[in-house]
A and B are shown apart, each in its own frame.
Chain A
Amino acid sequence: MRRALTLFITQFLLWAVVSQVNHSLAGRHVYLWVGGLFVTYGALSLSLRSGLLSSFLAGLLLDAVSPVAFGMHALLFAAAHALVFHVRDRVPRDETAGRVVIALFANLTLFLVFSVFLIDDAPTPAAAWPRLIFDLVCSQVFLALIAPWFMALQARTVELSDALAVVYVRRFR
């Protein structure tokens, strides 16, 4: 529970940064979406319960600020989390490059699934795909650039939280 909440704080920071970047890019009609990054570290490094809870909370956060059915992001993130967790022993999860590649795959899959669900809202769905594909390419490049920083931040935050918990237990129990 503590690790899940710690991870959620970093995910909240990621949401804040990305939303401000999107605000600045709005005039250029470019949109960055890094849903895969919300899921990857928790799925590769934490226990199933803690990681799943943090991914679910991050999904609820994105649901609250998006015009989609409440729980859509949360359920998709939880599904992606379960999938990455299932394969994590078969991938190089201790190397940064390996983690970034997994984040890229997770982001690609989530973006496409999300688009398939939402494309029907567009009056001409076929005309919406070029924009979505361009956004996807930009999102993947952006994700590849910030993933090492963000995963390092998550790792350090979890370490700090563990250390504080140890100190608390020693002093007050």
Chain B
Amino acid sequence: MLAWLFVPVVVKTFTRASFFELTAPVDATASHARDLQEFWSLRGHSKSELIEAGRDLARLNASYSLSVQQNAELRAQITRLESLLRMPAYANYRAEPARVARRDFSGWWQRMTIRKGSNYGIVVGAPVVFTGGAVGRVVEVHAYTSVVDLISSPRLRIAGVVEGDDRPISFQGGENRTFGPARGVLEFVPLDIFADARNPKRLVTSGYGGVFPPGLFIGTIVKVEPSPDGLFKTGEIELDPNLSMLHEVTVLVPLDRD
């Protein structure tokens, strides 16, 4: 047993990668089987249900196409302002959607395995998002799968800002109660920020760390109180309950690394 401590790091890294790749087909197969199960359950829907769903989708498409036009105008404005003010441009990302193969949410860590890896150009450190905001960060990239550390994991810290404010606040996940939404803790909250369960505030990514683009929703601040040193406040934040039931996420692959 003691001999293991003296095994070279190269050997350990190779062994770890080998064992992980041994498990990857199990995750991928189970994930494909779930997709197939979903497909057949959807096939059981009646035609009238499909027509209703198609009508709803058409409405959504109409509103999204309007948003796309507005988005293009806003992007053009941003580019113009950046060139006028000589500001550094925000990093550009390529959106890579990926299915969730396995969720691994324990009291010790919160991770998920997605079904895309280095075969789709995913890189370590890439931010992962979903429709409700930030999901986490890619921490391991393998041949056909990647591992994402969730924002609810105690191992992940993010610099966030209260929506409408520009002072950074430190966010760390970690309070994952049973049968309830995950919670995180806040540090270095400015003294003039007040929030409670009745008057919550939204915390979004600041973009300062260089990993997450600014403005992504992290969670709702439900409690702040003065820290023991009196210089700042500490607080609690409730994360999106959908974070623990994700089926598909989007990896933002930085373009400058491509």
Contacts and interface: CB of A to CB of B under 8 A. Distances in A.
A158 interface: no
B175 A127 contact: yes
A46 interface: no
A61 interface: yes
A16 interface: yes
A74 B4 contact: yes
B19 A63 contact: yes
A128 B174 CA distance: 8
13 contacts: A16-B30, A23-B104, A27-B244, A61-B23, A64-B20, A64-B22, A75-B4, A118-B109, A121-B108, A121-B155, A127-B175, A128-B154, A135-B178
A63 B104 CA distance: 13
B108 A22 contact: no
Contacts of A63: 16, 19
A40 to B, nearest CB: 19
A70 interface: yes
Q: Which 5 A-B pairs have the closest CB atoms?
A: A64-B19, A26-B103, A31-B106, A131-B107, A64-B20
Interface string A123-141: 1100110111011000000
Query: Is chain B's binding surface mostly helix, strand, loop or mixed?
Result: mixed
Contacts of B39: none
A30 interface: yes
A123 B178 contact: no
B120 interface: no
B105 A26 contact: yes
Given A23-B30, A33-B106, A67-B111, 9 more contacts: A19-B26, A26-B103, A29-B177, A61-B22, A63-B16, A66-B104, A115-B107, A122-B154, A124-B185
Given A16-B26, A20-B30, A26-B244, A118 B176 contact: no
A78 interface: yes
Interface string B90-110: 000000000000111111110
A79 B1 CA distance: 8
Interface of A: 12, 15-16, 19-20, 22-23, 26-31, 33, 60-61, 63-67, 70-71, 74-75, 78-79, 114-115, 118-119, 121-124, 127-128, 130-132, 134-135
Interface in B177-226: 177-180, 182, 184-185
B179 A29 contact: yes
B176 A131 contact: yes
A135 B180 CA distance: 14
Given A64-B16, A65-B20, A71-B12, A29 B178 contact: yes
Contact of B104 (A65, A75, A119, A134): A65
Contact of A15 (B23, B155, B182, B185): B23
Contacts of A70: 12-13, 15-16
B103 to A, nearest CB: 4
Contacts of A23: 30, 102-104
Nearest to B157: A123
Interface in B144-182: 149, 154-155, 172, 174-180, 182
A19 B108 contact: no
Given A19-B104, A61-B22, A127-B175, A26 B111 contact: no
B209 to A, nearest CB: 18
Contacts of B109: 66-67, 118, 121
A28 B15 CA distance: 33
A61 B105 CA distance: 18
Contacts of A130: 177-178
* A20, A61, A74 — most chain B CB neighbours (10 Å): A20
A128 B4 CA distance: 31
A123 B4 contact: no
A167 B182 CA distance: 55
A119 B30 CA distance: 31
